[in-house]
Chain A
Amino acid sequence: MILLATLLVLAVAAVGWWLARKRAREIELRSSGHHDRLHSRPVYHGLYVAIWTGVPALLLLLLWVAIQGPLLDALLLASLPQDVVQGLDENARAVLLNEIKTRAAGNPLPGEPAPYVAEAVRRLLRWRAIANMAALALSLAVALAGMAFAWRRLSPTFRARRAVERAFTWLMLVCASIAILTTVGIVLSLIFETMRFFTMVPLTEFVFGLRWEPQIAIRPDQVASSGAFGMIPVFAGTLLISAIALGFAVPVGLLSAIYLVEYASSRFRAFAKPLLEFLAGIPTVVYGFFAILTVAPAIKHFGDALGIPTAPNSALAAGLVMGIMLIPFISSLSDDALAAVPNALREGSIGLGATRAETIRYVLLPAALPGIMAGVLLAASRAIGETMIVVMAAGIIATLTLNPFEAVTTVTVQIVTLLIGDTEFDNPKTLAAFALGFVLFLITLALNMLSMHIVRKYREQYD
């Protein structure tokens, strides 16, 4: 129904455009040669009318679509018999609403509906029909009103082009603001859910707790292992795996960048750089599969052979594969940092009789250090926020350990594990994922900003 309304509005807008353009052409023809000449080309007149016809109506429809769902839900709930609704908590209410909506959609559910449910279904269908009609009628009315309003402005001296261009600039501004809106959206939604979480679980337990066991008694009579929501072991797992990853990726990435910038011939560079780009473009789910297919078994084999008890999903396996993923990242950032060092410094050092290695060690690396460090920070941010590799290759039980041969879990693993499957926004398990996500967001934001700050601060040195 909404689709129909949208199409109708667009059709009306198109008619408006065509009519307005025709009219503008008439005015132009009548007054050609006189000072009655049109300010703007006819097409702009057409666009002006079309915009006033279509945009308000479409915005109305958009708003309607967004609000109709929650509004009808609230009304429906209010219309149910009070004695039924009182006894239900939020979860059960959501289930009830779901049942009503599913039956209304014509999908079969087992069992016969209770009489008040059947009544509610009928009511919902009625309301929906009314709402759709109303949406259609209202949007058409707004469209026609808009067209009438815009039509009256048409005249030879009307600055249609300016008006249309202004409207366009606003459109572009809105598009640009979506970036801000997205950030705001992320922050708000995360904060909102996190706040709800902290009403159920104390902040101190989350920040300082050493046990992470997100079990919640599902039924009131279950022996409740009261869930423990201490985030420290989870973050420790993230740090362990990230440290392994960076410990592997930073030397390999940096050394390969050094070779590519200082020693390699241009032919070699032309061949090696695409290779590294390819590594960088591989989706992380592929790396995750590689970890479980090849790396984790190999490490277990290796560990067992050495007599070290190794988990099949050891932190070492996940960390190594994550490191492989990060190599091209660090290599290309270090490459940029080294290439940005002015050639004059290189020549100055070589001119004094230094070998390439001495030039690299004593002149270039110190000079490129800020850029390299910024790159490492960005890579750390990447490692901490990485999901698929650890979801597939790391563990689920939160263990506080430094042993890379054991299995640990990470923040991202927990977020995914807690949210896969049906989620109700009610129990601490689901909300814990948001709390973790919020902390993750803050940490990666801090690392990114620190990285940008370092680059900006030290860039001035060379300009």
Chain B
Amino acid sequence: MESQENKIKSLRRSIIDMIKVRKGGHLGPALSLVEILYVLYEYILNFNPKNPSWKKRDRLIFSKGHGCLALYAILAEKKFIKKSDLKTFCEPNSILGGHPEKNKIPGVEASTGSLGHGLPIGVGMSLAAKLNKEKHKIFVILGDGEMNEGSNWEALMTASKHKLENLTIIIDRNKLQAYGKTEDILSIEPLKSKLESFGSEVKSTDGHDINKLKKILKKTPFKKGRISALICNTTKGKGLNFAENKGEWHHKSNLSEQEIDKMYNFLK
């Protein structure tokens, strides 16, 4: 049986497969998410790739749309889409664009790409589930830079008002946004106490530690009657040591074949 370590490497290689097609893309923000998505799809979410709109499925809103290379890799792994789809990334007739679209990709719950949209949608879905007395859960993945958007904080107030304990937000805290460090551009700290004061029950963990992620995410809600918020401390560009924690790897274009080969070599 394939080891967890190999599975994770294989997902990262799938990301490079897509990067290779376009000779670029949002690499750094996808690589920080790999373990989080792996744990969600391997151990946490209820879903059926043969029936992506199955009513009882758990909903994952991928609000950090620019991290979609990681999402596409896991959707292919779980057979929502074909592995061959990955090799069409951003081609004119591909279902896979630079940001994910609900109406094109099976398993994508909402079209995202402009930040600050996923959480309000997730709040609506969570409220619907609560009103309908349905048992499925709603997860929203947010970037840490994305927490600059005021709409997230509006949505958190609403989620708290309605006591949406079926809602879990996962923040990819890689500490970098496009221009530089999140704390230099617009500080979101103290994030934990901010989230708490907006009505969330907050935990934080190493976002690359599969066992810890699994243990925490299996126990949502963290507290009855409250939204769960998990801050995942991650490394932008994780897995490629030359790209780790480097702002310039947020988005790349015109990558050479040698640079792409170098990436594959790291992920052997």
A binds B: no
